[in-house]
Every structure is written in C-alpha cells, then in structure tokens.
C-alpha cells in the first residue's frame, strides 16, 4: 500500500465534509475490499476517511411503521445474528450468514458489501487493460479471455459480474438507500443505485467519491412477505456466488399476488427479472410455475463461450429461491 493519511471523523456529517475537503480521499468502512485494492495498487488514495469512530453507524432498527433501517456500518455477522433480521428478513440473514468466511463476516459491512468492486481478475491486476480502469476494451471478451465467472447479461462492453450477495436480496425487498453528500442526504431506490459499465467508472454503483451510503431502508409491508435467497458457488464457503437470486412473494391463497425477482452475479450490476415476475403474478404457485419463472429469468441472456453453464445455474437458483420463499409462510 502507498502511504496515506487516516482521517477519523466522529459523525457521518464530518465524514462527508472530510471527503469534500480532501480531493484524493476515499471512504473506508472496514476496508475488506478497499485495502485489497490498495495492496494491489489498483487504488492509491492519499487519504482515507475512516468510519471506525462514527457512532450508531451499525444499528439495526425496527421503525414505528414496521420498516427496518440497517446502518451501512452493520457487519454481515451482525445481520446474521440479528433477531430482527432473522424474523422479518430471513433471506437477508441467510445471504449475510453464508457470505465469505466467519472472519470476513466479522468485519465486512453492508455498505462495503454493496460498494465492493468486481472480482474480475483483469480489473484487479494492473498488468491487464480493463474498461472499468479506463482501458479501451474488456479482455474477458477477447478470444482466450477468462470467462467462467463473468456476466451472462449486459456483457457487451464489460463482462464483470456483480459480486454482492446481499444485493439481490435488497433488490427483492425494494430497499431504499440513504446516501449522504455534504450536509444533505437523499433517498435512492435500490434499482437506481447501479451504474452500467463505462470506461473509467470502477464502481458498480452510481455514487461517486463524495457519496456516503448511510443506511439501507426496508419499507414496511401490510401483508405477510415470503422471502427467499439461493446462490451457487464454486466453493461451499469463502467464495462469491456464481449466480444468486433473491425473491419476495405475496400470496393470496394459492395465488401469487406480488412477486419481486432479482438476480445477482450474472450481470455487471444486480438485475431485476421482470420476465420472471410476470410468469408468477396472478397465477397459482406450483413447482412447475417456479421452473417456468427460472426459464423466463434467462430470456435475453448473452452468455460467453466460457460461461454458458451459468444460464442453467441461474434457472436453478431462481426456482430454488422461489420454492424456498413459498415454503415460508
């Protein structure tokens, strides 16, 4: 790592001010991903604004109306152990509790999980060109490019796959991010938080260097929600998903009244599958219906020669996530 000054504000407001005041500074929660990138010299900030001293950044609260607000500094271990999350958001508890490894979950935060950069090996090695690092092309797409974990949707210019396993869950929950910039905060619907790949834009998020994710809000719902999350990884632990699916269903008897289906790790950003939702809504739920939703979810996929297998895996995780959700009443 190159030397950096470490700035330790005690509030989110002071952190935002420090980011604004220091051109080269990057925000740091627990830095699982950021320190990795700095060690590889993919990022070389001259200062870090650390959130280590910011209080109440890690709270998980049920609000008066029943909504749930999760501080961006809450760790995955906290989510997995939280009774509130376990009871009301079981899909989130599962995704958080199975991500990475115990030691990483102790440190990895919600904000950091959403903000982590792609695991694409070309992005993370400066010897290779990379569109996200400002290069003129994506080497994944060239003949001989390593494609096995790459995107199967939206991969025309950059084939990086969104790494976050929490993202498809938050998508399915219609989460809203509270983002601070300077003295103001704004509410960003989850679907609007993600940026299509473009040259020189390293992050998967639309937020820039001065934006600070403060919390994630899960809106209250009057009706019971059935939630599911499934993923497939190369390794049973200590790995990122190859493909993942978060779902939310509202039932009326045997009929699906409302459905939200989000895919992870199959596109440069988390991806909502309205095609899969359409198959479900207004119909009675059966395993065949769940299977059909899986088929619908991969319509329009553009797999690369090296990752056609991810299409089949994606059909399967969609079906499994739906079956899991339906089985929860």
Partner 1 sequence: MSKSDRRGVTRRALFKGAGLAAASGAVLKPLEALAKEEGASGPRVQGPGAVKATLEVNGAKQTLEVEPRTTLLQALRLPLDLTGAKPVCDRGQCGACTVLLDGEPVYSCTVLAVEAEGRKVTTCEGLGTPENLHAVQQAFVDHDGAQCGFCTPGMVVACAYAVAKHGKDLTEAQAREATAGNLCRCGTYPHVLKAAVAAAKEG
CA distance linking residue 226 with residue 223, whole number of Å: 10
Closest contact distance (angstroms) between CB of 159 and partner 1 is 23
Closest contact distance (angstroms) between CB of 307 and partner 1 is 22
Type and span of the H or E element at 80 = helix 76-81
β-pair partners for 181: 184
CA distance linking residue 72 with residue 60, whole number of Å: 9
Give the residue with the Cβ less far from partner 1, 39 or 186.
39
Closest contact distance (angstroms) between CB of 24 and partner 1 is 6
Give the residue with the Cβ less far from partner 1, 104 or 304.
104
CA distance linking residue 112 with residue 131, whole number of Å: 22
Phi-psi region of 290 (alpha: psi -120 to 50; beta: other; left: phi over 0): alpha
Q: Which residue has the tokens 């760790």?
A: 75
Give the residue with the Cβ less far from partner 1, 18 or 263.
18
- Which letter does DSSP use for residue 204 in this model? S
Give the residue with the Cβ less far from partner 1, 4 or 128.
4
Binding site for partner 1 (CB under 8 A): 1-10, 14-15, 18, 21-25, 30-32, 35-36, 38-39, 46-48, 50, 52-53, 77, 100-104, 106-107, 236-238
Give the residue with the Cβ less far from partner 1, 180 or 226.
180
Give the residue with the Cβ less far from partner 1, 19 or 290.
19
Q: What are phi and psi of 20, to 5 degrees?
A: -65, -35
Closest contact distance (angstroms) between CB of 163 and partner 1 is 14
Give the residue with the Cβ less far from partner 1, 25 or 279.
25
Q: What are phi and psi of 187, to 5 degrees?
A: -100, 125
Closest contact distance (angstroms) between CB of 218 and partner 1 is 25
Closest contact distance (angstroms) between CB of 181 and partner 1 is 17
Type and span of the H or E element at 259 = strand 255-264
User: Contacts from 126-133 at CB under 8 Å and sequence distance 24+?
Assistant: 126/40, 126/41, 126/42, 131/157, 131/158, 131/197, 131/198, 131/199, 132/158, 132/160, 132/197, 132/199, 132/200, 132/201, 132/202, 133/42, 133/200, 133/202
Closest contact distance (angstroms) between CB of 45 and partner 1 is 9
Please check whether residue 157 is in contact with residue 132, taking contact to mean a CB–CB distance below 8 angstroms: no
Give the residue with the Cβ less far from partner 1, 49 or 173.
49
Closest contact distance (angstroms) between CB of 208 and partner 1 is 17
């Amino acid at each position: 790592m190159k030397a950096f000054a470490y700035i330790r504000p005690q509030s989110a407001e002071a952190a935002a001010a420090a980011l604004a005041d220091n051109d080269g500074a990057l925000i740091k929660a627990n830095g699982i991903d950021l320190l990795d990138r700095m060690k590889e010299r993919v990022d070389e900030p001259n200062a870090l604004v650390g959130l280590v001293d910011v209080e109440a950044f890690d709270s998980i609260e049920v609000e008066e109306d029943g909504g749930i607000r999760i501080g961006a500094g809450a760790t995955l271990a906290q989510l997995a152990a939280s009774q509130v999350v376990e009871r009301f958001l079981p899909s989130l508890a599962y995704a958080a509790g199975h991500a990475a490894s115990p030691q990483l979950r102790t440190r990895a935060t919600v904000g950091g999980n959403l903000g982590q950069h792609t695991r694409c090996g070309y992005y993370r090695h400066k010897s290779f060109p990379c569109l996200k690092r400002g290069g003129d092309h994506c080497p994944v797409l060239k003949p001989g490019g390593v494609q096995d974990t790459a995107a199967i949707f939206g991969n025309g210019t950059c084939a990086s796959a969104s790494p976050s396993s929490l993202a498809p869950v938050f998508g399915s929950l219609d989460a809203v991010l509270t983002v601070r910039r300077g003295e103001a905060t704004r509410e960003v619907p989850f679907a609007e938080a993600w940026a299509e790949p473009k040259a020189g834009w390293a992050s998967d998020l639309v937020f820039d260097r001065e934006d600070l994710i403060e919390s994630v809000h899960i809106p209250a719902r009057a009706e019971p929600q059935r939630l599911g999350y499934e993923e497939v990884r190369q390794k049973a632990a200590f790995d990122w998903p190859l493909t993942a699916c978060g779902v939310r269903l509202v039932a009326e008897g045997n009929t699906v009244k409302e459905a939200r289906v989000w895919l992870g790790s199959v596109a440069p950003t988390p991806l909502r599958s309205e095609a899969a939702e359409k198959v479900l809504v207004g119909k009675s739920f059966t395993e065949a219906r769940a299977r059909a939703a899986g088929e619908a979810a991969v319509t329009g996929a553009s797999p690369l020669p090296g990752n056609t297998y991810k299409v089949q895996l994606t059909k399967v995780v969609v079906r499994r996530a739906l079956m899991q959700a339906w089985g929860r009443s």
